[in-house]
Amino acid sequence: MMLNLITPLDFIFYFLYHKDMKIHVRNYTLPHMFVGILPSEYIEPQKVIIDVTVTYPDVIRPSTIAECYNYADITQYLDTLVSKGHTDLIETIACDVLDFIFQNPNVQHAQVIVKKPDIIPGAEYVAVEYERSR
C-alpha cells in the first residue's frame, strides 16, 4: 500500500492557493438523438453535443479516483440518453444531466450546455445552458 505523504509545504500551498477542482467534458457528441418538437424531429435522429463542467472540493494531492469526480460516470450517463427515446426539449436533457451529476454529494457546482447543430440554417448550433450550485 502506497501512502500519500503530505508535507508542510503542501498545507501552506493548499491554504494560500486553494481552488476547487473542475472537470470538463467538451463536445461530447450523441449522433443519433430524437429530440425536438417539430414533426420531422420525431422521425429523423439528429446530432446533439453536450458540454459539462463539474466543480467539487479540491484535495491536497489526489492519488486515487475515489478522491475525484470520475468523468467516465458522466460520459456513461450521457450515452444512456439515446436509449431513453424521444425528448421534446434540449432543456429537459440539460436538467436531467444536472440531476444525475448532483447525485454525488461532493459536487458544488455544475454547468451543462446542450447544443443542436444543423437545425437552423446559417447558425452553427442552437443551445441551452443551465447551471446549478449547492
In a domain, 5, yes or no: no
Instruction: Give the domain CATH number at 86.
Output: 3.30.1130.10
Is the pLDDT confidence value at 19 over 80?
no
- The reported pLDDT for the residue numbered 123 is 95
Q: How many C-beta atoms surround the C-beta of residue 104 within 10 A? A: 13
Numbers of helices and strands, H then E, in the chain: 4, 4
Determine, yes or no, domain membership for 8.
no
2 within some domain: no
d(CA 1, CA 126): 50
Whether the per-residue pLDDT at 72 is higher than 90: the answer is yes
**Which helix (DSSP H) or strand (DSSP E) does residue 87 occupy?**
none
pLDDT for residue 56: 86
Report pLDDT for 4. Answer: 59
Domain interval for residue 36: 19-133
Using pLDDT thresholds of 50, 70 and 90, give the confidence band for residue 113: very high
Cα gap 96→80, rounded to integer Å = 11
pLDDT band for position 3 (cuts 50, 70, 90): low
Lowest mean pLDDT among 37-46, 51-60, 119-128: 51-60
Report whether pLDDT(133) > 70. Answer: yes
Distance, in Å, from the CA atom of 17 to the CA atom of 37, rounded to the nearest integer, reads 48
Residue 78 lies in a domain: yes
pLDDT for the residue 127: 97
If you ran DSSP here, which 8-state letter would residue 89 be given?
-
pTM value is 0.82
SS3 letters across 24-86: EEEEEEEEEECECCCHHHHHCCEEEEEEEEEEECCCCCCCCHHHCCCHHHHHHHHHHHHHCCC
Between the two ends of the chain, the Cα-to-Cα distance in Å is: 35
Whether 14 is covered by a domain: the verdict is no
